[in-house]
Structure 1
Amino acid sequence: MNLNNKSFNNKNHQNLYVEVLKKLINSKTGICYLLIRFWHSPSMSTLRVLPRSDIYNNSNILIDLGADVSDLKSLVKRISQQESQLDISYTHTDIGWSYLEERKVFQGSTSYPIESEYSGEIDITPKGSYAGWLKTVKEYAMPQVALQLAVVLGLSAVAVGFLKDELDGSLFVHLYGASSKGKTTFAMLAVSTAGNPNPTDKNTLMSDWSDTANYRISMLANNNGYPVVYDELSKCNQKDISDFCYNVANGRDKGRLNSNAERKDVPTWSTTVISTGENSLLAQCNNNGGLLVRVLELSIETITESANNAEQLKQGIIKNYGFANTKLAKCLLNNEEVVKKKFYKWRNKIENDIPVKNSLITRLSKRLAVIMLTAEIAKKIFKLDFDIPKIEKIIIDSVIKQNERHPFDIGESLIQYLLQDMVSHSEHYQKCLQFGFQDEQYSNLTAVIKQTNSKRLNDNEVSNFEIVYIPLKFEELLNKGGFTDTNLCLSELKKRNYLVTEKSHNKVKRTIDGKQIRAYAIRLPTTLFNPDFE
């Protein structure tokens, strides 16, 4: 529209010209929007995307934006005339993989292969140039394998969303270690593959653990291919983050009702989430097993080469970002069958390479396979010389360390915890011979360790005692150790034939201090614990 002083002095349009630029359909909801430029003067204007119904049915919207609505009928007619001359185009607020016109598309600042424009709030508009980003990565990131992994993790969000049906949730990676070791730089580099990595800017993919849980979830809602960061775990005010972390890794928020007691839409996602902190994330969660196969913890000694190297890297990616994940998405979409074959190849390889063997590792290996799959494909697309064997070694070593700290076998972890408590708090356990108590003075009794006839638990293990726990004390003990699901713990003991049961009951009748109660009775092999009844 050609504006000049004469037209703005026209008495019929003295306050404002309204220019309809685009007619947009939200690809998910089907709701129609208009992109309108409100001209306040020949050199000053405001752009707004407004629901079509608000423009035609709510004159307050136009008034608030400064339009002259003294002749509302003429104004609406002018808008309608302009709209009728426009073709319809798509807009989207979800990001990552979706479906449009029954075709799989990747939605970023624009979408591929069907064109659509992003109208959401997250800053994913590319900045600078792809060449600038690539140059920065080659010069300042590729010399360190840890930073290679950062790039791969950022890109892996695209693969996680693409392979959503093959996985059972998102990829959740926690990087921890001493301060000033480059963890935030690592996270920023990962985010730069997809959007604005500057943690001081608004609406970026970089979040903070000090943000509210609802805000952190909002960054993930309907995100199927863009990495998200939660920086600095030490800033988190939640005492127990187990449920939150489980939801993040599971790719689904809690179900909720609105004020009318109606079900609200439940946000879902399938992407890569990177957390950073000085301490272990799993150490702040309970020991109920679900997170152990959903979270990969990385403890890397050296991330950046030097403070100067880190600063040069950050400056480069703040100036150039948001190009790489779309390039990867196009490749995946055009090679779907090959991608899936590579995924299963890596899954089998990782299962074989990890020395820890149990069913939980099998589930974790799917997430780890996505990382390695991404590294292999990205190496070809971006001509970046990722050291594939060393990246896999970081991951495998991390899994081994994670199993040492938080055993994937929750039953093994539980048994070790119970043994440690008996040793470190022996004053809470009363030994009982077959014909009477060995000791008489015990305070704050947790259990009685009772001598019994020898019983074979399985082909290799024998027990000659029972640990008879007072039920309330047993449940308190489990909670104290982070084992908040009592039934799961009992089930793990049953699997090993360590829990003494009575028909369909998990509790059995036992006498403690002359009183018969229903208690939890556990038999452990003498090879693990051999109480001295002499």
Structure 2
Amino acid sequence: MDYTVTIQEESEKITHAVFHKSVEIVEGQYGHYIYKKDEMIYIPCGGAVFVKNSITEVETCKQYLTLYFDSGDGKRRTILFPREDLVENKIVSLTAYGVQVSKKTADYLIKSIENQEVNVKHLLCHAKLGMAEWNGEKIFKGAKGVGIDSKYTGKLRVSPKGTYANYKKMLKQDVIGHTPMEFLLSASISGLLVDYLKESISVENIMVHMIGESSTGKTTGALLAVSCGSAPDFLGNNFVFSFQDTLNSLMRLIPNSYPTLIDEGSLLTDRDMTQTLYSLSSGTEKRRLSGGMEVNESSRFRTALFLTSEKSILAQCNMNTGLLTRNFEFQNVTWTSSAESADRIKSVVTENYGHIIPRVAKWLLEQDRQELVEKIVQETNAVIKRAREAKTYNNLTERTAKQSALILVAVDIVNEVLKLKLNKEAIGDFMEEHSLVNSVEQVSIGKRAMEWLLQFISKNYTQFLSKDSPKEISNCRGKLENMQTVLLNTDEESGMRLKVTASEFMKILKEGHFSEKATVLKEWKEMGYLKAQSDRYISRIKIVGDIQVKGYIIQLPVPSNKIGGDGEKDYEEVLEERRKRINKPRQVIKDEYVEDDFFSIDDDDDLDFPEDWK
């Protein structure tokens, strides 16, 4: 059972431990004294086990003893031994390493060790990384502690290698002056900022999706980000992972503060990545019950994540707008300035890494936390102001502005701590240029759903009844009707409408990864895409003969005869014509709902929606 323990630092060493006077180490052997015929006789039990130091783990306050001994082969061995195993039934496990101990002598060995541990040096260690608290003060746990005299005892390669001078020389030569690489350097530091301020501001992990062919330098750029804190390679024991790893393992392995790469997004094929991205963004693992029906501790992390792939990972998620606000996605960016530059970067970071994160962490711990929060608020407001001036502001701008602000504040921190000259304005423009929420077509789930529907109809035209189709078709998905051209609320023309049953509509949306059916219908009604009575979405429709069913009447933003038939066009051509028509003068009528039209609904109709799919 684990207990909650705190350690109070004292100015002088105080101990009330019992000293076992009858147990002693004599001439390299541990043993005990007995009285025999009024004299003390020493009984040796085995080769002595010496205590080098006592180590307390910061996260759990558990103690470990560094033990060393000379075994039967004459060689000295050292072992880190949990103090909780200093009991008779567990101390005998040391026999496997060459210690002379049995059930009969176990008690004497334990007392011998306890006598020594009072006088040895007591140290601190940590097994986890990132920002934490110790005795009420903020500390940073890296290869060495900052704000605490502690060392990392894990296997991850976070100890600095090479020299800071070589690393900084590479930054000046191959990063400064090339905005994409300056952005990656800043984003890697922003993860440390997210971890440091996690109790002060509500923000999720920085997630950067880098999409493109292998020649774009995306992996080199991502490894540069990783090299700020740890070994940037694919050899293991670092923060370079693959999407071949399970989500559970990723959630357990990703650290706080340290930039992390998840590579090989191209291996995902058709896997739904929605839950994966939400989990990585929040940095919180699902809670699980143990065999004893107790809630296991869930993993949590705050950092910057870099995801590389040859295709969009967001395209493999559902179409909820929430993911747009949680990710930066960059497609077909040339990350390195040249092939020669990429080679130099890889060569330098392989031999020189782990120098930046500790330096920035030390600087952060010396700053007033509230002042940093105020800087982020100022940058957030500045991002929102620029969006308003550029007329790209929408309902998602404020949700994404804080993440952009964190990276911009990180630019200032890099310039201050590393004495570099990153171009803050260019980095801001770079983020805005590639923003996922600056485009109305991206932000509006209604727009995205309509484009998916047009694509679906174009691809599956023969499954829809129309003037060109046979009177009867198998696997009918709906009915297309030409109509007089009308002007929709989006200022688009519509000369065709789709009638589709409620159940079939849900299937079509699901195929396009749209799970927010009600949101799609609401936006479509506001845009004029959906025809229905003012207080309803669903209508009575006729697809085959005079059979009335519940469904939807959808005004397609295309002229008549522009999808399928003899003049069948592919999806991109239809959409391109759509875009061109928006600015053309038109002679059309405004579409209005006719109260007594054939798709009206009686007041006593049951209009409950089916349950959304899971």
Asked whether the two chains share a fold, i.e. TM above 0.5, the reply is yes
- Which of 281-290 and 10-19 deviates more? 10-19
CA contact (8 A) 1:293 1:364 kept: yes
Q: Secondary structure at 1:359's aligned position in 2?
A: coil
Match of 1:249 in 2: 281
| Counterparts of 1:406 and 1:115, CA distance in 2 | 53
Q: Is the 8 A contact 1:156 1:374 kept in 2?
A: yes
- Cα displacement (A) at 1:302: 2.8
Q: Distance in 2 between matches of 1:306 and 1:177?
A: 16
After superposition, the Cα gap between the structure-2 partners of 1:168 and 1:508, relative to the gap in structure 1 and judged at 3 Å, is: farther
What one-letter code is carried by the residue in structure 1 that aligns with 2:511? K
- One-letter code aligned to 1:273: L
Which residue of 1 is the match for residue 395 of structure 2?
A: 359
Contact 1:431 1:449 in 2 (8 A): yes
Residue identity matched to 2:116: Q
| Higher RCO, Cα 8 Å, sep 6+ | 1
Q: Do 2:414 and 2:420's aligned partners in 1 also have CA atoms closer than 8 Å?
A: yes
Does the residue aligned with 1:399 lie in a helix, a strand or coil? coil
The answer for unaligned runs of 5 or more in structure 2 is 1-26, 32-42, 563-614
**Aligned equivalent of 2:381, options 338, 348, 351:** 348
Deviation at 1:15, TM superposition (A): 5.3
Q: How far does residue 498 in structure 1 lie from its aligned partner after superposition?
A: 5.1
* Structure 1: runs of 5+ lacking an equivalent: 1-5
- Give the equivalent residue in structure 2 for 1:23: 55
CA distance in 2, matches of 1:468, 1:398: 37
Q: 2:259 pairs with 227, 252, 267, which one? A: 227
The structure having more radius of gyration, on CA atoms, is 2
Amino acid at match of 1:56: V
2:541 pairs with one of 478, 497, 510? 510
Normalising by structure 1, we get a TM-score of: 0.84
Deviates most, 27-36 or 402-411: 402-411
More helix by share: 1
TM-score with structure 2 setting the length:
0.74
Residues 1:420 and 1:465: Cα distance change in structure 2 (over 3 Å): same
- Counterpart check, 1:372 vs 2:408: yes
Query: In structure 1, how many angstroms separate the alpha carbons of the residues matched to 2:511 and 2:490?
Result: 33
Give 1:278's match in structure 2, choosing from 288, 306, 310.
Answer: 310
Deviation at 1:8, TM superposition (A): 8.3
The Cα shift of 1:175 comes to: 1.0
- Equivalent position of 1:120 in the other structure: 154
Q: Is the 8 A contact 1:219 1:228 kept in 2?
A: no
Post-superposition CA distance 1:275-326 (Å, at most 9, x none): 1122222122221222111111123543334444333322322222222112
Instruction: Supply the distance in 2 between the matched residues of 1:347 and 1:177 (Cα, whole angstroms).
Output: 29
Q: 1:502 to 1:15 in 2, by over 3 A?
A: farther
Structure 1 residue 454: deviation in Å? Answer: 11
Instruction: Tell me, yes or no, if the aligned pair for 1:174 and 1:296 is still in contact at 8 Å.
Output: yes
CA deviations on 1:446-493 (whole Å, 9 max, x unpaired) are: 223568999998697998986432233212211221213434434544
Alignment partners' CA distance in 1, 2:441 and 2:328: 11
* CA deviation after TM superposition for structure 1 residue 374, in Å: 0.4
Aligned to 1:472: 503
| 1:178 partnered with 2:209 | no
Contact preservation (8 Å) 1:251, 1:270: yes
Counterparts in 2 of 1:457 and 1:138: CA distance versus 1, 3 Å: closer
Aligned counterpart, 2:203: 168
Pick aligned residue for 1:103 from 107, 125, 137:
137
- 284-293 or 84-93, which deviates more: 84-93
Deviation at 1:89, TM superposition (A): 4.3
User: Which of 238, 244, 251 does residue 217 from structure 1 map onto?
Assistant: 251
How many Å separate the matches in 2 of 1:403 and 1:413?
A: 14
1: distance between equivalents of 2:174 and 2:484?
68
- Structure 1 residues 144, 466: closer, same or farther in 2, change over 3 A? closer
SS at match of 2:86: helix
Aligned residue runs from structure 1 range 396-475, under 5 A: 396-399=432-435, 407-430=442-465, 440-449=471-480, 467-475=498-506
408, 415, 418: which one aligns with 1:382:
418
What do residues 72-120 of structure 1 show as CA deviations (whole Å, max 9, x unaligned)? 2222112212222246544333321222222222222233323333233
Counterpart AA for 1:320? N
Deviation at 1:257, TM superposition (A): 2.4
- Asked if structure 2 preserves the Cα contact closer than 8 Å seen for 1:353 and 1:396, the reply is no
Could you say which residue in structure 2 is the equivalent of 1:33?
64
Q: 1:205 corresponds to which residue?
A: 239
Query: Do the aligned partners of 2:189 and 2:410 also contact (CA within 8 Å) in 1?
Result: yes
Instruction: Please tell me whether the aligned partners of residues 177 and 278 of structure 1 are also in contact (alpha carbons under 8 angstroms).
Output: yes
2:187–2:206: 8 Å Cα contact kept in structure 1? no
> Residue 286 of structure 1 contacts residue 482 of structure 1 at CA under 8 Å; is this kept in 2?
yes
Distance (Å, rounded) in 1 between the aligned partners of 2:553 and 2:493: 13
Contact 1:110 1:116 in 2 (8 A): yes
Deviation of 1:206 after TM superposition, in Å, equals 1.2
Contact 1:288 1:488 in 2 (8 A): no
Mapped to 1, the partners of 2:453 and 2:142 lie a distance apart of: 50
SS at match of 2:434: helix
Which of 73, 77, 84 lines up with 2:111 in the alignment?
Answer: 77
SS state at 1:99 partner: strand
Distance 1:386 1:493, change over 3 A: same
Q: Secondary structure at the match of 1:407?
A: helix
Which segment drifts farther, 482-491 or 161-170?
482-491
Separation (CA, whole Å) in 2 of partners of 1:507 and 1:69 = 81
Q: 2:593 maps to what in 1?
A: none
Q: Distance in 1 between matches of 2:93 and 2:419?
A: 50
Indicate the SS of the match to 2:291. coil
Residue 368 of structure 2 is aligned to residue 335 of structure 1: yes
Q: Secondary structure at the match of 2:281?
A: helix
Aligned partner letter, 2:222: A
What is the deviation of 1:259? Answer: 3.0
Separation of aligned partners in 2, 1:30 and 1:190: 33
- The match for 2:290 is 258
Amino acid at match of 1:23: I
Tell me if the contact between 1:167 and 1:366 (Cα under 8 Å) persists in the aligned partners: no
Q: Aligned pair in 2 of structure 1 residues 387, 511: CA closer, same or farther (>3 Å)?
A: same
**What SS does the corresponding residue of 1:264 show, helix, strand or coil?**
coil
The Cα RMSD (Å) is 3.5
- In 1: Cα distance, 2:47 partner to 2:535 partner: 81
Match of 2:328 in 1: 296
Mapped partners of 2:92, 2:439: distance in 1: 63
1:143 to 1:488, Cα distance in 2 relative to 1, 3 A: same
How many angstroms apart in 2 are the aligned matches of 1:493 and 1:248?
A: 31
Change (3 A) 1:128 1:454: closer
Assess if the C-alpha contact under 8 Å between 2:194 and 2:203 holds in 1. Answer: no
Partner of 1:395: 431
